[in-house]
Amino acid sequence: MTRSWPRTVLLYAGALLFVFPFYYMLRGSLQPEPDTSLKGVLPTGGYTLDNYAAINDRVHLLQSLANSGIFTTGVLLFTLVFGLLAGYALARLHFRGQGMLFAVMLLVQIIPFQLLVIPLYVMVVRGYGLADSYLGMILPFAINSTAVFMFRQFFLQLPEDLFAAARLDGASELRILWSVALPLVRPAVLTAALITFIGPWNEFLWPFLVTKEADMQPLAVSLANYISNIAGRADNPYGAILAGAVVLAAPAVVLFVAFQRHFTSSDLGSGVKG
């Protein structure tokens, strides 16, 4: 059915409103002179990369990007592996205390991470001696209860006949998870990966506590220090702050654009005959 033109206009207007903050941020980061007025968003004042060069001179973008990549990739791998295993166990295995364990997992989601920072710091940095290490940054984020919940809900939607047939064929639970369940919950995997990526990529509090070494700090920590301590003294403070925001936001935006076409519901019953 063809959409009516008012609905089409409304959708385009909503898309423009969504995209405008990103355009404003990018345009402001390229301004040679600070201009916070609405006129400043028009492409009439020229462009410059000096704001990005100023950041690179103080922050060392490549090293910070590499640190963020290590930190985020480690969290992502742990989250997907443990999330898939725990989600599958809660959805398809039956054991004593399963309901209680699921309730505790839901309870964990309502506890803000900031409340856990001090005990985590004592345990990870002082107890385990993981200060100034990538493992110390990754460990508190290794298990994501939101990802576990998401995978559990997707696994519950899969037809029971798929699992019964695989067990009759002698497949182990790990083989069933890898060969039967995982291909059918690919949208959940991609969604969990994107959500997980955004969290550690933008995290600055915990890495800042774990290490004070500039060569190990992720991009979010380096940019936070730059914006709060240095950007205000730059020739174009407004452009410097927006340039830092662009550098931090760009990878998440690129990742979403690259995978957004895959965020579709899968045919969960495609493997069941009849």
Indicate the number of domains in the chain: 1
* Higher per-residue pLDDT: 262 or 208: 208
Rounded to whole angstroms, how far apart are CA atoms 189 and 150? Answer: 9
In this predicted model, what pLDDT tens digit does every residue of 202-220 receive, in sequence order? 888 888 888 888 888 898 8
Residue 110 three-state SS: coil
Q: How confident is the model at residue 270 (pLDDT cuts 50, 70, 90)?
A: very low
Single out the residue of 94, 48, 65, 104 nearest to residue 243, CA to CA: 48
Is it the case that residue 229 has pLDDT exceeding 80? Answer: no
Rounded to whole angstroms, how far apart are CA atoms 180 and 185? Answer: 10
In-domain check, residue 70? yes
In-domain check, residue 9? no
In-domain check, residue 161? yes
In-domain check, residue 75? yes
In-domain check, residue 112? yes
* Higher per-residue pLDDT: 235 or 26: 26
In-domain check, residue 18? no
15: exposed, middle or buried (C-beta count within 10 Å: 0-12, 13-18, 19+)? Answer: exposed
In this predicted model, what pLDDT tens digit does every residue of 8-43 receive, in sequence order? 888 888 888 888 888 888 888 888 877 666 666 666
Question: What's the longest Cα–Cα distance across the chain?
Answer: 71
Domain CATH for 103: 1.10.3720.10
For 178, the domain range is 65-237+245-262
In-domain check, residue 164? yes
Single out the residue of 88, 95, 93 nearest to residue 180, CA to CA: 88
CA 234 from centroid of its chain's CA atoms: 30
Percent of the chain clearing pLDDT 70 (strictly above): 88
In-domain check, residue 117? yes
